Amino acid sequence: MSCLSFLTVVTVFCSLNNGVEAFHSIHPDLQSISARSVSNLHRTRYHFQPHRNWINDPNGPMFYNGVYHLFYQYNPKGSVWGNIVWGHSVSKDLINWKELEPALYPSKPFDKYGCWSGSVTILPGQGPVMLYTGVVDKQSNEVQCYAIPENLSDPYLTKWVKPDAFNPIAVAENGINASVFRDPTTAWRGKDGHWRILIGGKMKTRGMAFLYRSKDFVKWTRTKHPIHSAKSTGMWECPDFYPVSLKGGKGLDTSTVGNSVKHVLKNSLDITRYEYYTIGTYFWKKDKYIPDNTSEDGWGGLRYDYGNFYASKSFFDPSKNRRILWGWANESDSKEDDVKKGWAGIQAIPRTVWLDSQGRQLVQWPVEELNGLRQKQVMISSQKLKKGDYVEVKGITAAQADVEVSFSFSSLDKAEAFDPKWVNAQELCAQKGSKVQGGIGPFGLLTLASKKLEEFTPVFFRVFKAPKNHVILMCSDATRSSLKSELYKPSFGGFLDVDLAHKKLSLRSLVDHSVVESFGAGGRTNILSRVYPTLAVKENAHLFVFNNGTEKVTIEKLKAWSMKSALRN
């Protein structure tokens, strides 16, 4: 099948605006330099990354005919951003991957200067269609394009074509700045039979999710009003819009609407390089999304991840009725280091995502298939930690591990007073580090630690007492992660919305050489950190459990596993 059956010929005229806005840092002198050999020192073993060179945004993930597909922004010529194509890898289990030739590369007038981020929609009875942003000139003016598989009988869908008919499907017009007009979402089909997509953009400083509609998936019309916008948020990149069930953790097809669902709108903020999401109601007859008032609709809003996590993309997996989330984690070292090591960028572990039973936030957890890499388990249970105690977790490969631990404490009386001015969790984590004594906490894990603790990356909790409730802070602090001073070593943090009636907190950390990806309280607050230790590498890495609070903390149960390396090709 060389072409989807709904195609007919039409001419589309492009109308582009002047005024260009940056998308990525550009290093023309470095973007086509490929290292002779790839350094394995900090390379991950079970997080996804291609065999070499630069990657960024996950694009168009899907499950089709028994195969998971992950596309991603990829530089085939070097390890800094540039020469962007759609890389393509396939998997049977989301963990072990086969890398294929790029699926999209610049080849048409409408994408001559880049095939940027987008999505895949599987049309019933017809197959998958890619929607992506094409760059038409050196000024980064952007249009929206589509591509289809050359041969649907190919199990891996290795080749994709861009029909001239209808391409591009959407252009910036009526005052829209074409250099801030990108990243089409997965489409959904309304009860009226019309398809809908969102495209990220902005008007002045107002973030926008432009809405386009189509009867046939090739002729698209922008609606008079965006589905939603928010003042002073800047450019909305990589929007994502999908339903979540009010009851249970099952995922939903993107076209699901009704009284039993809420909707999630996620935006990646170009200015801050982090994301936020809201949960709300989608009024499909009016094509309007209204967030609930349970979280901020802006920079201080809820985040999938409070660390190094950006440009995320979700998809519905019909094989297990779940929604799966991918996110890109950039490097924290220099561009020159990236060139030397021959690679840059990883994808976070794919996460199952669902709505918390309270309906106020999302919950995320690593896909169950990851557990198949676990081996060589060790356990600690019912061990008390007084102030200043450090207990080493021995018997596993600490540089490549999966750790689950539950903590308890007998009283909340020693919780420190919470200052209402502490609205920024990341700043508070920097102020209240793992070595700063508290009442309840800091307690947690020291990951990628050297034997004498010259280097370590702590992931920990602190509990504060506010006038009406307790405030829980979760931190992942890279400031002591490496003896190298020139690295970006932030202290990441987020607040944790959980009931402390049972005086228990849980933590799971995935440690993989240069990444520590952590899930607090069953995935309600999550933080991914990129770190590059110089001493705590490979067999010289250690793992500790610690408490620096005056309140004793009990390790109720700790399970830790050495992790096998995932298969590549």
Instruction: Name the residue type at position 238.
Output: C
How many whole angstroms separate alpha carbon 228 and alpha carbon 302? 17
Identify the sign of the CA torsion 56, 62, 63, 69: negative
SS3 545: strand
Judge whether 221 and 199 are in contact, CB under 8 Å. no
User: Which residue from 289, 304, 415 is spatially nearest to 349, judged by alpha carbons?
Assistant: 304
Residue 174 pairs in a beta bridge with: none
Give every CB contact of residue 156 below 8 A, 6+ residues apart in sequence. 67, 90, 98, 100
- Would you call 111 helix, strand, or coil by DSSP? helix
Q: What are the Cα distances from residue 472, in Å, to 8, 323, 416?
A: 57, 28, 11
Q: Residue 112 CB: number of other CB atoms within 10 A? A: 14
DSSP assigned state of 467: S
| CA neighbor of 69 nearest in space, from 308, 321, 313, 237 | 313
Catalytic center residues: 57
Task: Determine the Cα–Cα distance for residues 369 and 350; give it in Å rounded to an integer.
Answer: 10
The whole-angstrom separation of Cα 74 and Cα 101 is 11
Question: What gap in Å lies between CA 279 and CA 294, rounded to an integer?
Answer: 8
Check: CB of residue 44 under 8 Å from CB of residue 346: yes
Calpha distance 112→161 (Å, rounded)? 15
What's the Cα-to-Cα distance from 361 to each of 294, 464, 522, rounded to whole Å? 9, 21, 13
